[in-house]
Amino acid sequence: MTTMGQFVTRIDDDLARAIDELVEEGVFESRSEAVRKSLTASLEAHRRIRIGRAINEGYAQIPETDEEMRLAEAVATLMIAAEHWDDEAG
């Protein structure tokens, strides 16, 4: 079973009203769910940014070789050619 911590915070009235509107529209079941999901999304976005930076730093330290780039382009070309562009069902 997952334990849950509790945060007590203050938000301005406009933000509270906006959250309440989302709850009324059924986007979230409650204010608590809205806060949890919003924080989770924010943390995930920052995690992805950190990963992206790490990847960029890695390529800056060890760039792709010309041969690796040629192979990547060839594979991409084959993948594009294999797509069913006129097939609406995908």
pLDDT digits (tens, 9 = 90+) for 24-83: 999 999 999 999 999 999 999 999 999 999 999 999 999 999 999 999 999 999 999 999
Q: What is the mean pLDDT of residues 11-16?
A: 97
Give the residue with greater pLDDT, 41 vs 2: 41
Give domain status of residue 3, yes or no.
no
Position 1 confidence tier, pLDDT thresholds 50, 70, 90: confident
Domain-located, residue 24? yes
Q: Is residue 8 part of a domain?
A: no
Quote the domain boundaries for residue 51.
Answer: 13-82
Number of domains within the chain: 1
- List Cβ neighbours of 20 (8 Å cut-off, separation of 6 or more): 31
Residue 68 maps to a domain: yes
Predicted local confidence at residue 89, as pLDDT? 57
DSSP state of 4: -
60 inside domain: yes
Residue 2, in any domain of the structure: no
Residue 87 lies in a domain: no
Contact 20, 31 (CB under 8 A): yes
**Its pTM surpasses 0.75:** no
Beta carbons within 10 angstroms of residue 48's beta carbon: 10
Within a domain: 57: yes
The string of DSSP letters for 70-86 reads: HHHHHHHHHHHHHS-TT
